[in-house]
Amino acid sequence: MKPLAQCRLYTFIDTAWLGARQAPAVARQLCDGGSDLIQLRAKGATADEVCRLAEQILPVLHRAGVGLVINDHWDIACKIGADLCHLGQEDFFGAGWTDSSQLLPPGQRLGLGLRSGLGEDALPIPLLGLSSHAPAQALRALAARPAYIAIGPVYPTPTKPGVAPVTLDYVRWAAANIQIPWFAIGGINLNNIAEVLQAGATRICAVTAILNAPDPAEACRQFGRRLK
């Protein structure tokens, strides 16, 4: 995958919004449309089901040079060699972790991204992404040294029912205070992306606006043009 700092469009294979479509076919559409990162989100699926889906889409993404993000399952991300793993505040801090280095195996050779003792052909340790819904959570997340953080949900979204939007005020705060890569997420579509970018975002996540589009690849291209 390209360096995270160069990633702009972060899309999803969310099993709640696939319908009858097969994950590898959707992965190809998202890659063809110019996605930089694709997250596999399978809420309610078993660990075996998540692993099976990840193994199906990973070759598609690797051929396209697109990063795979596994949602929630750090162990699966490590097992299959995913590029990143995304965790919520409760998944990370609620598990007692305070720093991303705590996720590394004992004896990890820091900085090399290799599993200790397994040689140069070992699968890389995934980078970590963390959610945040308010400035205090962002500061807490930044102290844990993730590779990126997510800012949202900016608008109401069916992927987070009942969760109050953080509004553009949080996007403006992030633009002024966060130095590492961050992605605005939640209810962002082609009708409101301009105001999200005007608030200071340079990277966005889109779920339903792309997965529910008649042509997901073309929807990705349209988002990509706006981000440029």
pLDDT tens for residues 70-93? 999 999 999 999 999 999 999 999
Q: How many CB atoms lie within 10 A of CB 51?
A: 18
pLDDT grade for 214, boundaries at 50, 70 and 90: very high
> What does the buried/exposed string (b/e) look like for 162-197 if buried means 16 or more CB atoms within 10 Å of the residue's CB?
eeebbebebbebbeeebeebbbbbbbbbeeebeebb
pLDDT grade for 117, boundaries at 50, 70 and 90: very low
In order of their start, the domains of the chain are: 4-227 (3.20.20.70)
The pLDDT score that the predictor gives to residue 119 is 46
The pLDDT score that the predictor gives to residue 160 is 83
Q: How far is CA 180 from CA 2, 5, 52, 108, in A?
A: 16, 8, 32, 23
pLDDT tens for residues 158-187? 888 878 999 999 999 999 999 999 999 999
User: Among 6-20, 84-98, 110-124, where is mean pLDDT lowest?
Assistant: 110-124
Judge contact between 54 and 46, C-beta under 8 A.
Answer: no
pLDDT grade for 106, boundaries at 50, 70 and 90: low
Q: Is the pLDDT of residue 45 over 70?
A: yes
C-alpha to C-alpha distance for 151 and 133, rounded to whole angstroms? 6
More confident residue, 164 or 36: 36
- Which residue, 93, 87, 61, is CA-closest to 72? 87
The pLDDT score that the predictor gives to residue 104 is 80
C-alpha to C-alpha distance for 129 and 141, rounded to whole angstroms? 9
pTM: 0.92
Q: Name, in order, each residue with C-beta under 8 angstroms of 8's C-beta and a sequence gap of 6 or more.
A: 36, 202, 203, 204, 224, 227
Tokens, residue 219:
């929807």
Q: For the chain, how big is the Rg over CA atoms in Å?
A: 17
Q: Is the pLDDT of residue 111 over 50?
A: no
End-to-end CA distance of the chain: 19
Report strand pairing: 148-151 vs 67-71. unpaired
Judge contact between 65 and 39, C-beta under 8 A.
Answer: no
pLDDT tens for residues 200-211? 999 999 999 999
The pLDDT score that the predictor gives to residue 35 is 98
What dihedral angle (degrees, nearest 10) is formed by the CA atoms of 146, 129, 97, 168?
A: 90
